[in-house]
Every structure is written in C-alpha cells, then in structure tokens.
Chains A and B, each alone.
Chain A
Amino acid sequence: MAKVFIYPATSLILSDLVARFGHEPLGAALSIRERIQTPGLESPPLQITPEDPKKGLRYAAVEVPSGVRGRMAIYGPLLEQSEAAIIVTDAEMAFGCMGCARTNELILFSLRQRGIPLLELTYPKSEEEGVQFVKAIREFLAGLQEGGS
C-alpha cells in the first residue's frame, strides 16, 4: 500500500479512487484533523498557530509570504510522506486567493521535483472520458503495487 498525494488535496473523486484501489490517499483533511485534535491555544478556524509559518520555512524561503508558508506547514509533511501523486490539472475548485494560488504552484513544483511516480490528468467531462479517467488511475496504482512501493 503506497501513500499517494492527491491534488486537489480536497478532491472527493481522487480520495475515493485511491482508497478504493487499495492505497492511502494523502489529502488536506489528514493535516487539518491532526491540528483540530491537538490541544493548545485556541486559533480558529483551522487551528493554524503562529508556529505554522515557521514550520513552513522548511518548504518555502523566508521571503515567501507567511500565508504560503502557513499553508505549506499543512501540505509539506504530506508531500514528504508521499510515494506517488495524482494531479488533476484543470481543477477549478482549487482556485482561491493569491495565497492558495501560490501554494498550489509550490505544491505542484515540489511534487515534480521529488521524482516520485506522477499521474497528471484532467477531470472527465463525458462517460467515455470517465472510463479513461478510472482506467488511467487504476493502472497507475496497480503499477505502484508491482513496483513494490
């Protein structure tokens, strides 16, 4: 069972397919749950504290805005754990403020730099594309199993 990072990190479709085909999806919910279930000082809504931008320094330079570094404190540990990744390139739902946009760019850049197996595809817009979409993900994940990841 490989740990597979999914992009968009909140994607229902990717999370379901990765788990359905026997692997562990790494999405934003895991990091958020960790923060929500850790006691400390109240920092609503996501329990992101001033410590997080400091942790984000591991993934982004000091001159990068703290918003990006704070977000990278959530995604960075997931990127480090990931053994493979599935990226949907036309994910309009990942659209957000400038902090989100730059963080998304940094996530994609980091994934491509890591040299792990990557699958890039677009969301299906018809039944035929749906068949191809599921087939591509199924074969990619089956290849991870054969590769011993």
Chain B
Amino acid sequence: MAAYTPRLVGTVTKYVFVESPDVMPSDLAIRAYEVSEGAMIKETCFGLQVTGMPEEVDRIIRHLRSIDPHHIFVKDRGFPPGDPRRCRANLGGARPGYFGHEFEFPLLRFVSCGLRAAEEAAEEERPVEIVIREARPALDIRKLIEIIESEES
C-alpha cells in the first residue's frame, strides 16, 4: 500500500444544479467567476462545481441562489472535481453518482413548484403593513378656478 497524501485539504466542494428556463450553466459560471475570490469553479452540463474554503463557497452559493432561487439546487460533494478516482475521464462511462442525479433531476421541476407555492404562502402569512399617510390639504376652490381659467385662455 502506498502512502496517501490528500490534496485540497480543508476545502469543501458543492454541486450547483440549475433546472431553469431562464438561467443556463454558462450564465451561472460567469456570475460565479464575478464574485469568486480564489474558489475553483467548474462548469458542467447540469450546473457548476464550486471548490474552496467553506466561507468562500457559502458566499458564492448564496449569490448564485439569489439569481433564480426556485430553480437552483445545491448539495455537498465528497471528492474535489477531476479526482482520478471519480472523474469519468479516467474511468470511462458515467461517473459514479451520476445515476442518482439522473433520477432526481426530472423531479426538480415539481420541487420548484413547491418552493414557489411555499414562498407565496409565506407572503400571505406576513402581516400587511398599513401605511397611514397624512391627509393633504384639499385644493382651494379659488386656486382651482384660476388653474382652469389659465388653461382655457
């Protein structure tokens, strides 16, 4: 058995899946690069993989979620991107774990509907703010007559 020296110790990797009619993985990648401060971003067919220190990754994820909150989904990944033990470039065929994504991906649109409904329900539960405006003084009748006459002349 050979000695094993891990790489990217202390980092986290997260998958970002996008199932949206408006946002493409390439859009997400550009937005992620805009706010990234050293995190590794890999664009994939389903979205992105973001690798970096936990705080940095969380910050990027929060930003990405805000682009299309109901259609962007995030989960943890154990391996960093391109790891030879998992990457299909080395193994051939689909990456292990792909089948789980393939199973859940068609269900995401139903979850998106649920998220939209949950947000609407939360909006309804929120107490309505009653704004009391101070009554403006009514327009003086003589001033109104002056305005009308000036317009007619």
Number of interface residues, chain A, beta carbon within 8 A: 46
A contact residues around B9 at 8 Å (CB):
37
Least CB separation from B46: chain A residue: A12
A16 contacts partner chain B, Cβ-Cβ < 8 Å: yes
Q: Would A133 and B111 count as touching, CB distance under 8 A?
A: yes
What 1/0 flags go to A8-43 for Cβ under 8 Å of B? 101111011101100001011111110111111111
Docked CA distance A47–B108 (Å)? 32
Q: Would B111 and A41 count as touching, CB distance under 8 A?
A: no
**Residues in B51-91 with C-beta less than 8 Å from chain A:** 65, 73-80, 83, 85-86
The smallest beta-carbon distance between B80 and chain A, in angstroms, is 8
Q: Would A16 and B74 count as touching, CB distance under 8 A?
A: yes
A contact residues around B65 at 8 Å (CB):
20
Which of B10, B75, B77 has the most chain A CB atoms inside 10 A of its CB?
B75
From known contacts A8-B100, A93-B103, infer whether A29 and B111 are also in contact, taking CB-CB under 8 Å. Answer: no
From known contacts A127-B113, A130-B111, A131-B113, infer whether A10 and B4 are also in contact, taking CB-CB under 8 Å. Answer: no
Contact residues of B: prevailing secondary structure: mixed
B contact residues around A29 at 8 Å (CB):
75-78
The smallest beta-carbon distance between A34 and chain B, in angstroms, is 8
Q: Would B114 and A13 count as touching, CB distance under 8 A?
A: no
Q: Would B73 and A12 count as touching, CB distance under 8 A?
A: yes
Q: Which of A30, A36, A46 contacts B6 (CB 8 A)?
A: A36
Contact residues of A: prevailing secondary structure: helix
Docked CA distance A70–B80 (Å)? 22
From known contacts A10-B97, A12-B75, A124-B110, infer whether A92 and B103 are also in contact, taking CB-CB under 8 Å. Answer: yes
Least CB separation from B78: chain A residue: A32
Docked CA distance A123–B109 (Å)? 12
Cβ-closest 3 pairs across A and B: A134-B114, A32-B78, A130-B110
Residues of A with Cβ closer than 8 Å to B? 8, 10-13, 15-17, 19-20, 25, 27-33, 35-47, 92-93, 123-127, 129-135, 138
26 residue pairs bridging A and B, Cβ less than 8 Å apart: A11-B100, A12-B73, A12-B75, A12-B100, A13-B104, A15-B75, A16-B75, A29-B76, A31-B78, A32-B78, A33-B13, A33-B76, A33-B77, A33-B78, A36-B79, A37-B10, A39-B3, A39-B4, A123-B104, A130-B107, A130-B109, A134-B111, A135-B114, A135-B117, A135-B118, A138-B118
18 further interface pairs, Cβ-Cβ under 8 Å (given A36-B79, A41-B1, A41-B3): A8-B100, A12-B17, A12-B100, A25-B75, A25-B76, A30-B78, A31-B78, A35-B78, A37-B10, A39-B5, A43-B1, A43-B4, A46-B85, A93-B100, A129-B110, A131-B114, A134-B114, A135-B117
